[in-house]
């Protein structure tokens, strides 16, 4: 292990001891360390940080800002230990601000993704991605939470998933429809037939029996979106995170249409999504024109009621 890799391991361990998960940062900083090592350079400079951060072609301003942000944090840590490391100034790649436009999937789009999974190599891999996409679409859990699931986290009898130590260290129980549980069990049977002696206790595994990882899963999902023929939209393209947004929006649409008290139900959706409170969940009210139209209709009806 090089000195830079050792310092990176110490930095990640320190930040995680303070409560950060840093999954994306670990991936990006590993790539940055590899970039510096390829240059035979163990010292961070502003020039090297800018060169690496701007490598992706046609990357969005937000992604460039994210890459520079993780480097700045690591560089500040190293600078405190060795002043030769330079800390890139803020604002080199400004974040445009605001939330990205979510890609919302229709039921037809989700079905197309699950059908596209049948084009993957091997019955185990096909079953894994079909079950994973279905689970994300109906539960709204984060992709990181899904790939961290173990077999023991699925309780078939109660029809629930245990999400352990997720964002901000919170754990929660997510209820599943019986059909979702049946799909997961069907996948487990295919997986166990392909590899009778599992390497890990992971629910979702690769062909070799290892736990699915985030980069590989996202890469495969992009391929499935292409196979399914899902088009880009203004300001948005198909991402695996869009399944979570779609579940939240679909739930809110159904609640608006059934005439119930949406505001009273929001805490239930917040709990399922793992949000710290309803304020985070209310973001999804702005995510789809259909929701805004229904909310406007409900407001109009309310205002027209006799006092």
Residue of 237, 241, 265, 282 with catalytic role: 241
Distance of CA 223 to the CA centre of its chain: 17
Q: 5, 21, 62, 167: which is the annotated catalytic residue?
A: 167
Of the listed 11, 77, 103, 284, which one is catalytic? 284
Strand, helix or coil at 155?
A: strand
Look up 167 and say whether it is catalytic: yes
- Residue whose C-alpha is closest to residue 143's, from 191, 201, 67, 204: 204
3-state secondary structure of 154: strand
Contacts 24+ apart (CB under 8 A), 19-27: 19/168, 19/169, 21/144, 21/167, 23/144, 23/214, 24/66, 24/70, 24/214, 25/70, 25/73, 27/214, 27/215
Contact yes or no for 240/230 (Cβ under 8 A): no
Tell me if residue 237 is catalytic: no
The reply to whether 164 belongs to the active site is no
How many angstroms separate the CA atoms of 273 and 257, rounded? Answer: 21
**Is 275 in the active site?**
yes
Residue 105 bears catalytic tag? no
Q: Residue written as tokens 């009273």? A: 264
Annotated catalytic residue, options 72, 125, 130, 142 = 142
Instruction: Give catalytic residue positions.
Output: 142, 167, 241, 244, 275, 284
């Amino acid at each position: 292990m090089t000195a830079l890799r050792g310092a990176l391991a110490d930095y990640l361990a320190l930040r995680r001891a303070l409560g950060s998960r840093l999954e994306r940062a670990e991936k990006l900083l590993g790539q940055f360390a590899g970039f510096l090592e390829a240059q035979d350079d163990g010292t961070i400079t502003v020039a090297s940080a800018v060169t690496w951060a701007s490598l992706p072609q046609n990357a969005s301003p937000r992604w460039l800002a994210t890459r520079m942000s993780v480097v700045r944090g690591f560089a500040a840590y190293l600078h405190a230990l060795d002043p030769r490391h330079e800390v890139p100034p803020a604002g080199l790649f400004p974040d445009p601000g605001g939330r990205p436009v979510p890609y919302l999937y229709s039921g037809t789009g989700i079905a197309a993704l699950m059908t596209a999974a049948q084009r993957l190599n091997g019955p185990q891999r096909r079953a894994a991605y079909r079950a994973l996409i279905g689970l994300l679409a109906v539960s709204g859990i984060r992709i990181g939470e899904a790939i961290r699931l173990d077999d023991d986290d699925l309780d078939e009898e109660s029809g629930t998933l245990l999400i352990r130590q997720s964002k901000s260290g919170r754990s929660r129980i997510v209820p599943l429809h019986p059909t979702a549980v049946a799909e997961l069990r069907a996948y487990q049977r295919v997986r166990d037939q392909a590899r009778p002696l599992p390497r890990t206790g992971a629910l979702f595994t690769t062909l070799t029996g290892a736990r699915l990882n985030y980069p590989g899963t996202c890469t495969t999902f992009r391929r499935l979106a292409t196979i399914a023929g899902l088009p880009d939209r203004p300001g948005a393209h198909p991402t695996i995170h869009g399944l979570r947004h779609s579940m939240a929006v679909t739930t809110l649409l159904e609640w608006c249409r059934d005439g119930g008290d949406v505001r009273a139900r929001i805490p239930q959706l917040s709990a399922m999504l793992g949000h710290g409170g309803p304020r985070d969940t209310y973001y999804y009210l702005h995510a789809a024109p259909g929701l805004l139209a229904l909310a406007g209709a409900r407001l109009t009806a309310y205002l027209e009621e006799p006092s």
